[in-house]
């Protein structure tokens, strides 16, 4: 019957998938209309581009009247081709833009979107080339003074630069944005993965399926994905929150930059005075001004650095705090599938990288930006023609920086991932050092950590190689620009278009400009590294938890818990059903025990009562109120858990008992301590309740930790006490003390016990036997033992037999020790 229903449901799902719905048809119509609009826009641009490039040639005269004869002359090359006067280059560029856009739209029409998108960076490079070539052509026109008086060259240059910009925008917003939005793609991908997983054959290995489910699970995909620009804006928003210190730093930065901008000008004056022997008075005047400017820049530079450093510390604090608040609000499933070492790495190294990098680079960018603007102003004053040489190179360097930044971003993200993996190994080993030592695995773990560090080193090696290539390119561009400026500047001096003093001043500003551009390029590299480090941080920060804990109710509770037809699977293992149509009634004021084979679902029931997860179907109520509607803090004050392996924090005994109970008094703590058999052994300690428990309670014995955990639960005065294998890991003496404490605290409370030992469960008012996610038996110990064919009878019999064998072994061992040799 089950197989038949499953088959039918699959057929229904298949039919729904294969049969197009009205919504799908509407979506296709909208997409078709969008495609037509995009094609029309591209066609208009292509026609306008070629037309403007052609028509501008009719204005290559001293009149604004269009001359068709000029257009015909240039098109037919009647006077031949002269690079310094013929504008046909602009027409060729427009034709190339036409060919590239038509090719891209054809690829999209024939559903070859990936090929069109793969052309994005080369096309941006082509647009950059168009921009730079336009400036070169403008300098060529400027060699003939008559050409600069015609409106045609200015129209050709202006349109060519506008067309290069529009070409880039069309390629970015139309060609590469052909697919649907990111969120829809993610949803469809997750849906496809889920469907494929559900259709997996029953013969598939369970562990492999679980692994695949964890990897393909959308649990970690609920975070909001944001673009690189949005990353940078989000980072800058943190800087905005510290606007006072950044504003103060910016004021000192402007003073510093303005002072530095004038230094090359007066340096040139000093050199000119020395060369021309203008006299000591002129020399002293120039040097004195330089000294004052240097002092001003030095003082303001130090104040600027102090303000920005303190602002960086404030940003780092806020980023870590926001991330930690987001992490502690996440559902338990998030921590099931995310490595603790990775989380710690995001919280420490990644946050530090984010805050330091963005603050430092903001400082560097603003300082060099102000100095760059000042340098450009002086350079244009000296010679606008020579300044064009610099503007020819800027877009080329910018394109290379953009391409390199995207590649470096990927390398940085991969590097941070390898660092997180190494941190995970270190955290795992150092937190379980006793186990490592007991199995003599010190060398093995050191080798494993070395392997993770080797992966990090491999990624850093790739980053170093990439940075080396980028440095080579920058050095080549800087030297090429310097050679071009010297050559063209010498030509201008020899042509009496500028003076020698102006050329010297220009060269000094050119050197400063090169340094400013290099630093700004370094800022872009740093920001890309920062984006790589921040990607996971923001994914964690923006992730919406599946369980919101937004209940508001605070009803009076007696402790009557009910499971009504509950189905449950762990989100990280969606194909392994843990509980199936479970109905469980935990009566108020009585003790209920859950028993059954391992993996039957007992601990899952406890997790659901604790609201760590939510059921797939059914309801869980306490006194008739759904637990998800109850206030989170109020509910966990009334329902307390004592786990098999209690976690104590690195603090005093007092801190651990009162954990989460700021409202509790000293009397509340002492009453809970006495009930849990804690007060006696704590009183014997040198520092009493101020004794430090150590990390994870390492300074306490197993029994002491368990009793402190019981006191921590009792200080809340809960109406429901859950004991999950609370004595299974203890020796006989510790178990007796803990059991005595449990018997004392069980009075007048609802108690839910999970245990395997007969001595722990036989006195329970009600016993529920769980097997494979279902309740197969309920009743008292005597009632269940009367059913010799039941699972409970089998479990108890095996335990009694095991105890008897163990007892016989101990008796024989005792006799052998007493026998004289």
Mean pLDDT of the chain: 80
Strands (E) across 387-498 are located at none
What secondary structure does DSSP assign to 381-411, as a single string?
Answer: HH-HHHHHHHHHHHHHHHHHHHHHHHHHHHH
For the chain, give me the number of helices (H) and strands (E)?
29, 10
Give me the mean pLDDT over the 116-132 stretch.
86
Across 13-27, 202-216, 373-387, which has the greatest mean pLDDT? 373-387
Q: Is the dihedral of CA 155, 158, 160, 163 positive or negative?
A: negative
Q: What percent of the chain has pLDDT over 70?
A: 84
Contact 144, 60 (CB under 8 A): no
Residue 151 confidence (pLDDT): 92
| 549 neighbors 425 (Cβ within 8 angstroms) | no
Residue 214 covered by a domain: no
Tell me the pairing of strands 561-569 and 617-622.
Answer: antiparallel
Please tell me the distance from the alpha carbon of residue 449 to that of residue 442, in angstroms, as a whole number.
Answer: 11
Q: How far apart are CA 286 and CA 266, in angstroms?
A: 6
pLDDT at 207: 36
How many CA atoms lie within 13 Å of 566's alpha carbon, on the beta-carbon side?
Answer: 27
Instruction: Out of 151-160, 204-213, 435-444, 507-516, pick the least confident.
Output: 204-213
In the sheet that holds 577-586, the strands lie side by side as 577-586, 561-569, 617-622, 625-626
Which of 542, 569, 589 is a domain's end point? 542
Q: What is the DSSP letter of 67?
A: -
Give me the mean pLDDT over the 121-126 stretch: 86
Run of H or E including 664: none
Task: Name the band, by pLDDT with cuts 50, 70 and 90, for residue 177.
Answer: low
Cα–Cα distance measured from residue 528 to residue 535, given in angstroms and rounded to the nearest whole number: 10
Q: Which has the minimum average pLDDT: 182-186, 234-238, 387-391, 544-548?
A: 182-186
The SS3 of residue 308 is helix
- Give per-residue pLDDT as tens, 354-385: 777 777 777 788 888 888 888 888 888 888 88
User: Does one domain contain both 658 and 583?
Assistant: yes
**Would you state the pLDDT for residue 595?**
92
Residues 444 and 585 in one domain: no
- Asked if residue 213 belongs to a domain, the reply is no
Under the banding of pLDDT at 50, 70 and 90, the label for residue 450 is very high
Residue 808 and residue 716 share a domain? no
Report the pLDDT averaged over residues 732-753: 75
3-class DSSP state of 770: strand
Q: Is the pLDDT of residue 227 over 90?
A: no
Q: What does the pLDDT look like over 461-495, one tens digit per residue?
A: 988 888 887 778 777 877 887 888 888 888 888 88
Cα angle: 492, vertex 495, 496; to 5 degrees: 90
Residue 26 lies in a domain: no
Task: Please identify, among 149, 175, 201, the residue that sits at the C-terminal boundary of a domain.
Answer: 175
Distances (CA, A) of 663 to 132, 659, 660, 689: 71, 10, 9, 18
The pLDDT value recorded for residue 288 is 86
| Mean pLDDT of the region 128-134 | 89
Q: Is residue 209 part of a domain?
A: no
Reported as a single tens digit per residue, the pLDDT across 318-344 is 888 999 998 888 888 888 888 887 888
The model's pLDDT over 96-114, given as tens digits with 9 standing for 90+, comes to: 999 999 888 888 888 787 8
- CB–CB of 766/779 below 8 Å? yes
Query: Could you give the number of structural domains in the chain?
Result: 4
pLDDT at 586: 93
Q: Which two tokens stand for residue 245?
A: 């210190």
Identify the band that residue 720 occupies on the pLDDT scale cut at 50, 70 and 90: very high
Task: Report the Cα–Cα distance between both ends of the chain, in Å, rounded.
Answer: 69
pLDDT value for 13? 41
| Euclidean distance between CA atoms 292 and 288, whole angstroms | 6
Q: How far is CA 94 from CA 51, 131, 408, in A?
A: 9, 12, 33
pLDDT at 734: 64
Reported pTM: 0.60
Q: Based on the domain organization, do 631 and 757 belong to the same domain? A: yes
CA distance 304 to 302: 5
Residue 27 lies in a domain: no
Confidence tier at 629 by pLDDT (50, 70, 90)? very high
**Among 42-46, 83-87, 225-229, whose mean pLDDT is lowest?**
225-229
What was the pLDDT predicted at 561?
Answer: 95
Higher pLDDT, 210 or 474: 474
Same domain for 606 and 524 = no
313 and 271 within one domain: yes
- Position 724 scores a pLDDT of 84
- Give the pLDDT of residue 624: 92
- In-domain check, residue 29: no
pLDDT per position as a tens digit, 298-310: 999 889 888 888 8
Say whether both 583 and 505 belong to one domain.
Answer: no
Task: Specify the CATH number for the domain of residue 243.
Answer: 1.20.1560.10
pLDDT value for 158: 93
What is the 3-state composition of the chain as percent helix, strand, coil, each rounded to the nearest 5?
Answer: 70, 10, 20
- Alpha-carbon distance 440 to 436, whole Å? 6
504/438 same-domain check: yes
Residues 461 and 600 in one domain: no
Q: What is the CATH number of the domain that holds 649?
A: 3.40.50.300
In angstroms, rounded to a whole number, what is the distance separating the alpha carbons of residues 426 and 635? 36
Query: Cα–Cα distance between 386 and 138 in angstroms, integer?
Result: 12
Could you tell me how far CA 147 lies from the centroid of its own chain? 55
Do both 633 and 504 map to the same domain? no
Query: Is residue 153 situated within a structural domain?
Result: yes
Confidence of residue 273 (pLDDT cuts 50, 70, 90): confident
Q: Answer whether residue 264 shows pLDDT above 70.
A: yes
Q: What is the mean pLDDT of residues 745-763?
A: 80
Residues 304 and 439 placed together within one structural domain of the fold? yes
In the chain, the percentage of residues whose pLDDT exceeds 90 is 19
Residue that wins the pLDDT comparison between 256 and 523: 256
Chain segment 491-548, per-residue pLDDT in tens: 888 888 888 888 888 888 888 887 887 788 777 767 777 777 777 788 888 888 888 8
Question: Of 542, 569, 593, which residue sits at a domain end?
Answer: 542
Asked whether residue 90 is assigned to any structural domain, the reply reads yes
Q: Which domain holds residue 801?
A: 797-821
Mean pLDDT on 387-411:
77
- pLDDT band per the 50, 70, 90 thresholds, residue 278: low
- Do 533 and 664 sit in the same domain of this protein? no
Taking the C-alpha atoms of residue 816 and residue 772, their distance in angstroms, rounded to an integer, is 44
């Amino acid at each position: 019957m089950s197989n038949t229903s499953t088959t039918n449901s699959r057929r229904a799902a298949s039919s729904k998938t294969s049969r197009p719905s009205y919504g799908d048809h509407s979506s296709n119509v909208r997409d078709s209309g969008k495609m037509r609009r995009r094609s029309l826009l591209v066609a208009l641009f292509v026609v306008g581009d070629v037309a403007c490039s052609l028509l501008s040639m009719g204005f290559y005269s001293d009149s604004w009247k269009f001359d068709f004869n000029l257009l015909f002359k240039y098109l037919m090359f009647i006077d031949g081709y002269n690079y310094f006067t013929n504008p046909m280059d602009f027409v060729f560029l427009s034709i190339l833009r036409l060919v590239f856009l038509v090719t891209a739209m054809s690829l999209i029409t024939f559903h070859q979107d990936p090929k069109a998108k793969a052309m994005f960076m080369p096309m941006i490079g082509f647009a950059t080339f168009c921009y730079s070539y336009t400036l070169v052509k403008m300098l060529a026109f400027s060699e003939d003074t008559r050409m600069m008086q015609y409106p045609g060259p200015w129209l050709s240059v202006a349109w060519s630069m506008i067309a290069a910009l529009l070409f880039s925008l069309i390629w970015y917003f139309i060609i590469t944005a052909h697919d649907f939005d990111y969120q829809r793609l993610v949803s469809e991908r997750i849906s496809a993965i889920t469907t494929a997983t559900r259709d997996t054959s029953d013969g598939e290995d369970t562990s492999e399926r679980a692994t695949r489910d964890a990897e393909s699970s959308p649990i970690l995909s609920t975070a909001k994905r944001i673009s690189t620009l949005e990353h940078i804006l989000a980072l800058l928003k943190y800087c905005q929150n510290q606007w006072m210190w950044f504003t103060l730093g910016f004021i000192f930065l402007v003073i510093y930059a303005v002072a530095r901008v004038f230094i090359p000008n007066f340096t040139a004056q000093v050199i000119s005075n020395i060369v021309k022997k203008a006299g000591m008075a002129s020399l002293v005047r120039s040097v004195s001004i330089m000294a004052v400017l240097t002092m001003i820049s030095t003082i303001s530079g130090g104040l600027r650095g102090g303000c920005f450093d303190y602002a960086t510390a404030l940003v780092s604090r806020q980023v870590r705090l926001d991330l930690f608040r987001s992490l502690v609000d996440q559902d338990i499933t998030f921590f099931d599938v995310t490595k603790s070492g990775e989380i710690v790495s995001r919280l420490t190294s990644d946050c530090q990288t984010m805050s330091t990098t963005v603050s430092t680079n903001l400082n560097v960018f603003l300082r060099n930006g102000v100095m760059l603007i000042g340098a450009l102003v002086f350079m244009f004053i000296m010679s606008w023609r020579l300044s064009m040489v610099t503007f020819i190179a800027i877009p080329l360097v910018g394109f290379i920086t953009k391409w390199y930044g995207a590649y470096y971003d990927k390398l940085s993200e991969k590097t941070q991932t390898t660092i997180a993996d190494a941190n995970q190994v270190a955290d795992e080993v150092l937190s379980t050092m006793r186990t490592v030592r007991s199995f003599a695995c010190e060398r093995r773990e050191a080798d494993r950590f070395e392997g993770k560090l080797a992966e990090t080193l491999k990624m850093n090696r790739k980053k170093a190689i990439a940075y080396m290539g980028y440095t080579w390119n920058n050095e080549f561009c800087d030297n090429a620009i310097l050679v071009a400026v010297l050559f063209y500047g010498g030509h201008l001096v020899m042509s009496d278009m500028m003076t020698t003093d102006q050329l010297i001043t220009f060269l000094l500003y050119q050197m400063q400009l090169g340094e400013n551009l290099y630093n700004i390029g370094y800022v872009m590299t740093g920001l890309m590294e920062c984006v790589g480090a921040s990607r996971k941080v923001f994914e964690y920060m923006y992730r919406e938890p599946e369980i919101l804990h937004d209940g508001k109710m605070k009803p009076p509770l007696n402790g009557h818990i009910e499971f009504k037809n509950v189905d449950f699977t762990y989100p990280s293992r969606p194909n392994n059903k843990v509980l199936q149509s479970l109905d469980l009634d935990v009566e108020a004021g009585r003790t209920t025990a859950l028993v059954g084979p391992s993996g039957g679902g007992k601990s899952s029931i406890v997790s659901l009562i604790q609201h760590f997860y939510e059921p797939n179907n059914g309801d869980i109520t306490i006194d008739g109120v759904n637990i998800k509607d109850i206030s989170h803090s109020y509910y966990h004050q009334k329902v307390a858990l004592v786990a098999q392996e209690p976690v104590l924090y690195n603090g005093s005994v007092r801190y651990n008992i009162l954990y989460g109970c700021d409202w509790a008094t000293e009397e509340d703590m002492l009453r809970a301590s006495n009930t849990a058999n804690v007060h006696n052994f704590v009183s014997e300690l040198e520092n009493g309740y101020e004794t430090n428990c150590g990390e994870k309670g390492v300074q306490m014995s197993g029994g002491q930790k368990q009793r402190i955990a019981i006191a921590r639960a009792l200080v809340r005065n809960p109406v429901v006490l859950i004991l999950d294998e609370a004595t299974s890991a203890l020796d006989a003496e510790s178990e007796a003390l803990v059991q005595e404490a449990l018997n004392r605290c069980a009075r007048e409370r609802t108690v839910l016990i999970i245990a395997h030992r007969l001595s722990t469960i036989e006195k329970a008012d009600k016993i529920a036997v769980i097997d494979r996610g279902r309740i197969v038996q309920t009743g008292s110990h005597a009632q269940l033992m009367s059913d010799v064919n039941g699972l409970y009878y089998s479990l108890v019999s095996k335990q009694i037999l095991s105890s008897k064998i163990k007892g016989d072994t101990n008796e024989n061992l005792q006799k052998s020790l007493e026998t004289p040799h």
